Structure 1
Amino acid sequence: MHRPLFTAALAVAAVLLTGCASGDDWSEGPHPRPSAVGELSAGFLGPDTSPAPESTVTPSPGSWSRVHPSDGIRVVLLTAGHDRPTKTLVTAVQEWAQDEDVDLRTVTATDAGDLVPAITRAMDMHPDLVVSAGNDLIDPLAAVTPNHLAQQFLVVGAELAEPTQNVTAVDWSGASFRGEGLGMSSTYDASSFTAARCAAAVRAGTAAVLARHTGIVLWLEDF
């Protein structure tokens, strides 16, 4: 093969292998910490502007809509399961990333034995945020996240029973799975995972993380 053609072929192969928007090597640093572009409305936190860790906050609808991620944010979508709620959450994350020009990569757990390894693979990519979708990941996340406090996690459609400061969750009535054998604050309802509610959960959750309100549970109502 002629050298120009060989070089071009290598370039095309590299693009296909990366599978991400920017093609950047995330392991290269330092990378500026992402920040919020815009501000949360007053109704997001209510009267308590500094919620305690593990507390539940009920933001008013749309109070997160003015917050967007700064340029260059790197997000890993960590997912497990093929049920309709999980698929709806995955679509919501993908659409948010496209709308906000986020550099998004996906790690999918292949089976029960791959749940913890999948979390490790996600962290090894050095993202600014790991967004988790799928109830099967909750127990593994509860075991892993306390040992990696520098990594921010966002759990959508479920929550950890005892989250550390690096784990933020978004729930609503019908979606509050906390792990096997643990009670839920509402009865699980797969039909509650509508496209609109999942989209709101992703935007509210990422807005909270970007605004540095982490380690809390956001409870969405009126969707």
Structure 2
Amino acid sequence: MLLLSLTGCATDDWSAPRAAPTVVGTPAAGFMPATAPSPEATVVPADGSWQGVSPSAGYRVVLLTSGSDATTEVLNAAVEDWASEEQVSLRTVVAEDSGAIRAIVDAMDMKPDLIVSTGEALVDALAMVTPNHLDVSFLVLGAELAEPTYNVTAVDWTGAGFRGEGLGSATHFDESSFTPERSDAAIRAGAAAVLTGMTGVVLWIE
């Protein structure tokens, strides 16, 4: 069964007309590499260089999540805190183990500006769905797709990096690396990358 929940203002109507979302602010030096990264490249931004970049108020985000493990929960809390601070309109789609693809479709049907994914169980399903929906922006936190298309951006660090498709983790998995501070950095860095057009890459943060 698929569970839907709404975070934030219950009167926020996503069907209402609105101006196109914009980026507010610019990243600091060291966020973007000197030359444009190639598709699927790993980019290592300077620590904190993503600070000061925000979406315009009302930016529509779906938090697509699966699992109740501690790592997923700390990522979800960071996304919710970021959304509250940045006046992001956030809705949540929770997928059970058997409903990953259905959950992704439901998230896309909401027509958000961005879908943020947390939970390793969604990675393989995202790898199947995202290449067929290049007009939808995805941000994967604490994991990555083995062969992402340009609409999929990921944020990883030492201790994370699950890739799915039988590849396991790009690094040694360490649950303790999923701290509130690193999770906050992950959503902020990832959102800054999407907002500034540096997509289809893996951001590697410390």
TM-score normalised per structure 1: 0.86
Between the aligned partners of 1:99 and 1:74, the Cα distance in structure 2 is: 14
Equivalent in the alignment of 1:65: 51
SS of 2:123's partner is: helix
Given the alignment, which residue of 88, 95, 106 partners 2:81? 95
1:147 aligned partner, one-letter code: N
SS of 1:201's partner is: helix
Unaligned stretches of 5+ residues in structure 2: none
Structure 1 position 72, deviation (Å) = 1.9
Equivalent in the alignment of 1:218: 203
Given the alignment, which residue of 141, 159, 164 partners 1:174? 159
Q: Determine whether 1:37 maps to 2:34.
A: no
SS of 2:62's partner is: strand
1:31-180 aligned at under 5 Å gives the runs 31-48=18-35, 50-109=36-95, 111-180=96-165
1:24 aligned partner, one-letter code: D
1:158 aligned partner, one-letter code: A
Between the aligned partners of 2:32 and 2:120, the Cα distance in structure 1 is: 26
Q: Write the deviation string for residues 165-210 of structure 1: whole angstroms up to 9, x where unpaired.
A: 1000000001000004115321111111001000000000001101
Between the aligned partners of 2:171 and 2:7, the Cα distance in structure 1 is: 38
Structure 1 position 25, deviation (Å) = 3.0
TM-score normalised per structure 2: 0.93
- Tell me, yes or no, if the aligned pair for 1:157 and 1:171 is still in contact at 8 Å: yes
Q: Write the deviation string for residues 65-122 of structure 1: whole angstroms up to 9, x where unpaired.
A: 010111221000000000000000000000000010110000001x221111111110
Between the aligned partners of 1:80 and 1:183, the Cα distance in structure 2 is: 17
Q: Which 4+ stretches in 1 moved above 4 angstroms?
A: 17-20
Q: Determine whether 1:26 maps to 2:11.
A: no
- Tell me, yes or no, if the aligned pair for 1:159 and 1:170 is still in contact at 8 Å: yes
Unaligned stretches of 5+ residues in structure 1: 1-16
Structure 1 position 156, deviation (Å) = 0.4
Between the aligned partners of 1:28 and 1:148, the Cα distance in structure 2 is: 23
- Tell me, yes or no, if the aligned pair for 1:164 and 1:215 is still in contact at 8 Å: yes
Equivalent in the alignment of 1:4: none
Between the aligned partners of 2:199 and 2:16, the Cα distance in structure 1 is: 26
Between Structure 1 and Structure 2, how many residues are aligned? 202
2:85 aligned partner, one-letter code: D
How big is the alpha-carbon RMSD for the aligned residues of Structure 1 and Structure 2?
A: 1.5
